[in-house]
Amino acid sequence: MKSRTSHLVVFAGLAWAGMAPHLHAQSASQPPITLAMPEPSTGPPPVITLNDALERARVLDAQLQAASTEAVIAHEDRVQARASLLPAFSQSTQYLGTQGDTPLATGRFVSNDGVNLWRQWAIARGELTSGTFLRTPVKRAQAAEAAADARLEVARRGLAVTVTERYYGLVSAEHRYAPAQQAAAQAQRFLDIAQRQQRLGQVAQADVIKADIAYQQQQQAYRDATVLMENARLALAVLLFPALNQNFTVVDDLSVPPALPPFPDVRMMAERGNPDLRAANETLRAARFEVSGAKQAFLPTLAVDLVYGIEANEFALHSVDVAQPELGVLPNLGYFVTVNLAVPIWDWGTLRSKVRQARARETQAQVELSQTQRLLVSNLYTFYNEALAARTNADNAQHIVDLATESLRLTNLRYEAGESSALEVVDAQNTLVQARDGYDGALTRYRVALARLQTVTGPF
């Protein structure tokens, strides 16, 4: 049976007639592609779901670990700020040896009343400032801790987008690989059929050239699908394993995507649990407490030092005063209190400069909060519309797959009845492969769009 050809195909057949045998020989002898890959690990490959991938990535991701470290540091800052409001206790043991006068047993230094002087002190020290009563340092540290926790949640949701994109990118690449391999084998078979029919004089040279072009295109698509699948596997493996390992399998749940909630519910979730907005609010609150703390530095500070213990020429609870031995044995234990009131008078503008710095940070925090509020509303509508469009495109792509499947079935029936050519079957198969690739791509975009939307709303 001779297929219908256009004038352009006939012209191409005449132009390529001399090169066709060389192309056919090259096609038949072309070796399969061999990729450079890491050494495979021993043991059965683990089966990883999307939740497993998220848990593994949260442990290994450097950016998330950095945000977690900042949250831990902010928590310890709050602990230290709260402890700074309480008195500090310490212990001190000293021995002061002084060159003595002869024959007197007194020291040469005015501060020492003997050759041997022992000090055993228990010290309590505390400062009373306006921040002690208003708890300004603690409140500022609490706001900074809350902001760090919110930024940690932002990093966690951002990582979820990356993992989702790479996870379903691998699933989609695996979907493309098998049809591409089948299409390449089918194109090889139709090229062999066309070459055999040409030798029998049943088809024109142009049909053989077109079959060879289709074969080359399918081979290229197969190689591209192979590289795409291996690259997608490696990109996901970087997030999942401490040592690079591509010996794993993923669960294919791409065709059962979660539902998209109605917009009023999504807006309510965004208003209630957005970490970007919470981080901006807490940053502004911390900046305001910083301004208050800078202003409080102008107020007086009261410091109290209480010392209880021994300061005597003999390291004992009781001893005899060498200057007045007639007094007998006296106790060495005692205490003294130092109260210091410090009033700032002149510091060459240092405190005022710190106030201006704090106010500048407060202004910057206000601007960032306003921008975050605008971005939140914009991202809410943008991400929701992207998810809505992706879901619609996925439904449309499913319909295209159904049509392409039916078209291939009818073309096969016509080919069996002798009413269509083998090349029409190849075209129908290519159309179905492209439709399936488009459907997988639409489902992947929908999954990623949902993950991006959840950066604003949280999980749903």
Identify the pLDDT of residue 9.
30
Tokens of 333: 């234990």
C-beta of residue 210 within 8 angstroms of C-beta of residue 198: no
3-class DSSP string for 389-410: HHHHHHHHHHHHHHHHHHHHHH
Angle at the Cα of 284 (from 279 to 289), degrees rounded to 5? 125
Global pTM? 0.78
Tokens of 388: 């809505």
Residue type, 199: R
C-beta of residue 354 within 8 angstroms of C-beta of residue 240: no
Please name which of 438, 457, 444, 366 lies closest in space to residue 166, comparing C-alpha atoms. Answer: 444
Distance, CA of 206 to CA of 271 (rounded, Å): 65
C-beta of residue 211 within 8 angstroms of C-beta of residue 192: no
110 alpha carbon, distance to own chain's centre: 66
Identify the pLDDT of residue 112.
64
Instruction: Give all domains of the chain, ordered by start, each with its CATH number.
Output: 44-85+135-299+344-457 (1.20.1600.10), 90-132+300-343 (no CATH)
Angle between helices 350-416 and 275-296 (to 10 degrees): 170
Per-residue pLDDT tens for 190-241?
Answer: 788 878 888 888 777 887 888 888 889 888 989 999 999 999 999 999 999 9
With a cut of 70, which residues of the chain have pLDDT below it? 1-43, 99-113, 322-323, 422
Distance, CA of 106 to CA of 100 (rounded, Å): 6
Identify the pLDDT of residue 180.
84
DSSP character for 298?
T
Per-residue pLDDT tens for 409-439?
Answer: 998 888 778 788 767 877 888 888 889 889 9
Helix locations, 109-204, DSSP H:
130-134, 136-199
Per-residue pLDDT tens for 77-93?
Answer: 999 999 988 899 999 88
Distance, CA of 429 to CA of 450 (rounded, Å): 32
The β-bridge partners of 306 are 124, 337
User: 3-class DSSP state for residue 21?
Assistant: helix
In sequence order, what E strands does 313-398 have? Answer: 318-320, 329-331, 333-342
Distance, CA of 310 to CA of 317 (rounded, Å): 8
Distance, CA of 264 to CA of 261 (rounded, Å): 8
Q: What values do phi and psi take at 96, rounded to 5?
A: -115, 105
User: With the C-alpha atoms ordered 351, 354, 356, 362, is the resulting torsion angle positive or negative?
Assistant: negative
User: 3-class DSSP state for residue 419?
Assistant: coil
What Cα–Cα distance (Å) separates residue 277 from each residue in 23, 151, 282, 284? Answer: 63, 10, 9, 11
